[in-house]
């Protein structure tokens, strides 16, 4: 076994035992990287159940940072795809780690979750191929190429880092973008459901609901020169989709606007715990509304940038923690029924694709696989990176765990489990719960992991 593999296996082996790295005084450096991951025309999008790519509205990218000087390098990467599932997520972490000279447990890779984009899961693809449906979920060759190009971009960037002397952090409220998908009555029943686009007047009139209204931005500086701005906001990034128009959607438009406003400052966007958050209250799904949503999000980014505090940092201010945990598979997952759907030639493609995703996850969970909640602390800032399509309650809970700190959350890491609700939500039912592949006990597991990486006593 290679030394790097051995060290990684030691780190992964401790159940809820956080791997902890703290460096002494010393210089910090940061490198920014970016790669094109736009699928070619004709590629399947999302879950393969929509029209294939027939138009490139704007290019999709994988972009991130490599932090050096505080132990082995740490990587944060955001990909403009819908999801990375199971072993595919592991492969991205591993390839990037090898390229920059670190271990896979020090790499956090997330998707932004735009729906007019690729959704990649190699184990699900293998199951589909065995049933004559290979290549129907995503463009396999392009997915492999994108991984290679992203790893190479990160490796090149790591060889030419910039000095990191200061950290900036600020937040601002985003007006009329996010709204709760699920409106629950006082007696705990699901009253109203709305998606990313809503035309139903009753659903539009319902309250905004439980959200995190704030966008948080963290910036890295070399003296007086800003190098990168990383934004975190919890909301499904979908205005309209399903037409074959490949796009970064309104979040990509806002990100691009900030790039234009701050030339030379790399812009990275992470989707927070937005599993039960979307634009439905403020979005009718029209093409005209996408730039409206983008403008509102951009304003939040601008205000967070202007509100930021700036503090000096060294390697002594940096911690990296990871808490590997196994997620309990949903009790409703029935392998016989899953196989029956897979084998049914008359079943809809989306049903068979979802069956493959369920089977891939179920096998992985039963094999004892552990996902890796992780946290990068730099001074007063905690960047918490989580698996799954989390409900916003996890994000709000993390902030309450460390009210003394500036806590940012990125969800949509390993998305093999699909939606991850709260324990209460599983008794309420609804679309997200029907799509979730984990059991209600997942809340206890992930809350404990969050306390671990945030260094909070139970």
Quick: pLDDT tens for 314-330. Answer: 999 999 999 999 999 99
Question: What DSSP element (H or E) covers 453?
Answer: helix 442-453
Given pLDDT bands bounded at 50, 70 and 90, which one contains residue 223? Answer: very high
How far from 308 is each of 16, 204, 223, 266, 311, CA to CA, in Å? Answer: 34, 33, 15, 17, 10
> 318 in a domain, yes or no?
yes
Q: What is the C-alpha separation between 309 and 352, in angstroms, rounded?
A: 50
Q: What is the C-alpha separation between 413 and 394, in angstroms, rounded?
A: 14
Asked if the model's pLDDT at residue 5 lies above 90, the reply is no
Q: Can you give the C-alpha Rg of the chain in angstroms?
A: 21
> 168 in a domain, yes or no?
yes
Mean pLDDT of 49-60: 95
**What is the chain's mean pLDDT, rounded?**
94
Mean pLDDT of 437-454: 98
* Count of structural domains within the chain: 1
Q: Is the dihedral of CA 412, 416, 419, 420 positive or negative?
A: negative
Asked if the model's pLDDT at residue 12 lies above 90, the reply is no
Q: What is the C-alpha separation between 240 and 183, in angstroms, rounded?
A: 22
Given pLDDT bands bounded at 50, 70 and 90, which one contains residue 187? Answer: confident
pLDDT recorded at residue 46: 87
> 146 in a domain, yes or no?
yes
What phi, psi does 226 have (nearest 5°)?
A: -75, 140
Beta bridge partners of 225: 222
pLDDT recorded at residue 2: 38
For 274-323, list the strands marked E by DSSP. Answer: 277-278, 309-312, 318-322
368-401 per-residue burial string, b: 16 or more CB within 10 A, e: under 16: ebbbbbbbbbbbbbbbbbbbbbbbbbbbbbbbeb
Match 């984990």 to its residue by tokens: 438
> 418 in a domain, yes or no?
yes
pTM: 0.93
What proportion of the chain, given as a percentage, has pLDDT over 70?
94
What is the torsion angle, in degrees rounded to the nearest 10, for the CA atoms of residue 412, residue 63, residue 378 and residue 98?
90
pLDDT recorded at residue 80: 98
> 350 in a domain, yes or no?
no
List the structure tokens of 378: 């730099």
pLDDT recorded at residue 73: 98
> 183 in a domain, yes or no?
yes
> 346 in a domain, yes or no?
no
Asked if the model's pLDDT at residue 248 lies above 90, the reply is yes
Residue 276 three-state SS: coil
Pairing relationship of beta strands 162-164 and 266-271 according to DSSP bridges: unpaired
Q: What is the C-alpha separation between 378 and 311, in angstroms, rounded?
A: 10
> 344 in a domain, yes or no?
no
Given pLDDT bands bounded at 50, 70 and 90, which one contains residue 457? Answer: confident
Mean pLDDT of 95-99: 98
**Residue 234: which domain range?**
3-331+355-453
Asked if the model's pLDDT at residue 265 lies above 80, the reply is yes
CA-wise closest residue to 378 among 237, 248, 221? 221
For residue 186, what are the contacts with CB-CB under 8 A and spacing of at least 6? none
């Amino acid at each position: 076994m290679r030394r790097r593999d051995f060290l990684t296996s030691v780190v992964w082996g401790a159940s809820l035992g956080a791997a902890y790295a703290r460096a002494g005084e010393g210089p910090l450096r940061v490198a920014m990287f970016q790669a094109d991951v736009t699928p070619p025309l004709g590629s399947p999008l999302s879950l393969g159940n929509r029209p294939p790519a027939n138009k490139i509205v704007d290019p999709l990218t994988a972009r991130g940072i490599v932090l050096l000087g505080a132990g082995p390098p740490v990587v944060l990467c955001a990909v403009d795809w819908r999801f990375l599932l199971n072993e595919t997520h592991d492969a991205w972490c591993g390839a990037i780690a090898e390229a920059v000279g670190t271990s896979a447990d020090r790499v956090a890779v997330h998707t932004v979750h735009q729906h007019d984009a690729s959704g990649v899961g190699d184990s699900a693809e293998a199951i589909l191929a065995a049933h004559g449906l290979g290549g129907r979920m995503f463009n396999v060759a392009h997915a492999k190429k994108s991984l290679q190009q992203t790893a190479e971009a990160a490796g090149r960037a790591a060889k030419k880092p910039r000095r990191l002397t200061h950290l900036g952090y600020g937040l601002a409220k985003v007006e009329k973008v996010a709204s709760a998908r699920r409106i629950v009555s006082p007696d705990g029943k699901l009253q109203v459901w709305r998606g990313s686009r809503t035309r139903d007047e009753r659903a539009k009139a319902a309250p905004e609901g439980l959200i995190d209204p704030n966008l948080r931005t963290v910036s890295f500086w070399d003296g007086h020169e800003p190098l990168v701005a990383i934004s975190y906001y919890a909301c499904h990034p979908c205005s309209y989709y399903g037409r074959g128009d490949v796009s970064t959607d309104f979040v990509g438009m806002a990100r691009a606007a900030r790039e234009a406003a701050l030339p030379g400052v790399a812009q990275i966007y992470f989707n927070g715990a937005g599993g039960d958050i979307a634009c439905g209250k403020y979005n009718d799904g029209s093409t005209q509304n996408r730039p409206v949503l983008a403008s509102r999000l951009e304003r939040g980014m601008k205000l967070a940038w202007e509100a930021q505090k700036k503090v000096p940092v060294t390697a002594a201010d940096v911690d990296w923690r990871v808490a590997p945990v196994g997620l309990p598979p949903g009790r409703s997952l029935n392998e016989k029924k899953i196989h029956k759907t897979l084998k049914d030639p008359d079943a809809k493609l989306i049903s068979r694709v979802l069956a493959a995703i369920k089977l891939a996850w179920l096998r992985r969970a039963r094999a004892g696989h552990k996902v890796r909640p992780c946290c990068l602390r730099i001074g007063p800032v905690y960047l918490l990176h989580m698996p799954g399509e989390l409900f916003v309650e996890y994000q709000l809970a993390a902030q309450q765990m460390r009210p003394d700190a500036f806590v940012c959350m990125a969800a949509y890491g390993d998305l093999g489990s699909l939606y991850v609700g709260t324990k209460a939500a599983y008794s309420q039912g609804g679309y997200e719960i029907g799509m979730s592949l984990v059991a209600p006990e997942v809340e206890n597991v992930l809350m404990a992991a969050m306390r671990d990486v945030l260094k909070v006593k139970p």
